[in-house]
Amino acid sequence: AQSVSQHNHHVILSEAASLELGCNYSYGGTVNLFWYVQYPGQHLQLLLKYFSGDPLVKGIKGFEAEFIKSKFSFNLRKPSVQWSDTAEYFCAVLSGGSYIPTFGRGTSLIVHP
Amino acid sequence: SQTIHQWPATLVQPVGSPLSLECTVEGTSNPNLYWYRQAAGRGLQLLFYSVGIGQISSEVPQNLSASRPQDRQFILSSKKLLLSDSGFYLCAWSDRMGTQYFGPGTRLLVL
């Protein structure tokens, strides 16, 4: 069965710091990869996704993620975080042919102004 | 555009009482539908999913059940709530590429 690991459970940064959140998965076949974000008091929503093609994908609000197949990773990055990036971030993996995504446990990001 | 509704937003129920949480989707047909429970620090636990009317798959044995009486309606139920059923319940639908679209959630407190 697929498993997804998010290594950082809680991250605290100051504004303008760089961000990298790790995500690793276990199943090595064809996968669709996602990062979702839940801002305080808001719906869980899609941040970015990778299906195929360029392994560096860009999402909303300046976020990007890189798919490294050899490392089974899909790390999320942002060069300079803002206070408004304070949220919970979830990595998810959908294995080929499945209806069921596997979610990581989430990373709580707090950005101090 | 697609919209997903959940109600109620908050619910406080006594132990042993029944439960019915409703989820409806607008703007898409024959969606895959999902019920999740979200617990702090534990991510999203998939409870049920449905690929069509009357087709329900359960991922975790528990005190809950789900039904899909109409194409865009998904209901989470219990006959007798337990304290451990307290939590935040999310409904979602997915497009054909697997992107999930979540509702606003229902916070359930069982006392």
Give the pLDDT confidence score for residue B43 in this predicted structure. Answer: 84
For A6, the closest chain B residue by CA position comes to B43
User: Quick check: A111 contacting B, CB < 8 Å?
Assistant: no
User: What's the rounded Cα separation, in Å, for the pair A106 and A4?
Assistant: 10
Based on C-alpha coordinates, what's the Rg of chain B? 13
Looking at A26-30, B18-22, B36-40, B96-100, which range is the least confident one?
A26-30
Locus of tokens 């710091």: A17
Residue B42 confidence (pLDDT) above 80: no
CB-based contact, A106 to chain B, within 8 Å:
yes
- More confident: B77 or A8: B77
Which chain A residues are within 8 Å of B32, Cβ to Cβ?
A: 99
Q: What mean pLDDT value characterizes chain A?
A: 94
Q: Which residue of B has its CA nearest to A105?
A: B43
Chain B touched by A9 (CB under 8 Å): yes
Please answer yes or no on whether B102 and A51 come within 8 Å at the CB atom.
no
Q: Give the number of other CB atoms < 10 A from CB of residue B4.
A: 23
Contact A103 B59 (CB under 8 A): no
pLDDT band at residue B61 under the 50/70/90 scheme: low
Could you give the C-alpha distances from A78 to A15, A59, A66, A91, B8, in angstroms and in order? 11, 10, 11, 15, 36
Instruction: Round to whole Å and give the CA distance between A39 and A109.
Output: 10
CB contact under 8 A, A105 and B41: yes
CB contact under 8 A, B43 and A106: yes
Per-residue pLDDT averaged across B15-23, rounded?
97
Record: contact A106-B102, CB cut-off 8 A: no
Average pLDDT over residues B84-94: 95
Q: How far is CA B52 from CA A38, A48, B55, B61, B71, in A?
A: 28, 27, 5, 21, 7
Give the SS3 label for residue B37. strand
Quick one: pLDDT at residue B29? 87
- Which of A23, A33, A44 to mutate to probe the B interface, most B CBs <10 Å? A44
Element (H, E) at B93: strand B87-94
- Contact present, A25 and A93 (Cβ < 8 Å): yes
Q: Concatenated DSSP letters for A86-106?
A: -EEEEEEEEETT-S--EE---
Which residues are paired to B77 by β-bridges? B20, B65
Q: Give the DSSP letter of residue B39.
A: E
A70 interfacial to chain B (CB closer than 8 Å): no
- Per-residue pLDDT at A58 exceeds 80: yes
B88/B40 Cα distance (integer angstroms)? 9
How does pLDDT run across A22-49, given as a tens digit for each residue?
999 998 788 999 999 999 989 999 999 9
